[in-house]
Amino acid sequence: EKEKGLIRDSWESLGKNKVPHGIVMFTRLFELDPALLTLFSYSTNCGVAPECLSSPEFLDHVTKVMLVIDAAVSHLDDLHTLEDFLLNLGRKHQAVGVKPQSFALVGESLLYMLQSSLGPAYTTPLRQAWLNMYSIVVSAMTRGWAK
Ligand code: HEM
């Protein structure tokens, strides 16, 4: 319960518009693995450049990812209700060529974003709480991926 509070409060403290935080997250992700950029069909002749990360397509995906995290935060008490959605989401990523190992990099990038946004409020228990929630999301997506 303490974990849920840490997650809810920190997520809320990022503000209403989560897209800028999503951009920080995906900038980090593409730094960790630039090859992931190529999975976006519209990334042709675009590198890990800020121009690419401001293209409508990337912003669209960033927005979708932030909405999924937002849904998970809103459903901390009943994450299982998102199961079918997440299984299906994992399957869709299998179809577009994303490997489950890459989901872990997204987790790392999420923590990186939280650390840079929260500053001193980013504590070990907070980090652990987010890791726990994210691992539930990724485990469902990975099961869907493998189906
Ligand atoms: C769709 C890539 C991780 C949420 C897509 C698409 C691509 C993609 C290429 C299809 C085009 C589009 O809709 O923009 C990636 C890559 C990831 C990643 C490279 C890094 C590993 C994630 C994560 C989430 C997520 C972690 C959520 C937690 C979504 C959603 C869609 C989507 C909601 C739309 C699915 C639909 O059409 O119903 N992703 N994705 N993605 N992605 Fe990701």
CATH number for 90: 1.10.490.10
Number of domains in the chain: 1
- Give the residue ranges of the chain where pLDDT is below 70: 41-52
pLDDT reported for residue 34? 86
CA distance 31 to 59: 17
CA distance 125 to 102: 24
Give me the count of residues in the chain.
147
> 120 alpha carbon to ligand 1 midpoint, in Å?
30
Provide the ipTM.
Answer: 0.95
| Half-sphere exposure (Cβ direction) of 147: Cα atoms closer than 13 Å | 15
pLDDT reported for residue 124? 98
> 61 alpha carbon to ligand 1 midpoint, in Å?
6
Q: Which domain holds residue 24?
A: 2-146
pLDDT reported for residue 55? 78
> 8 alpha carbon to ligand 1 midpoint, in Å?
23
pLDDT reported for residue 45? 57
Token output for 45: 């002749």
pLDDT reported for residue 46? 61
Cβ–ligand 1 distance for 36 under 6 Å, the answer yes
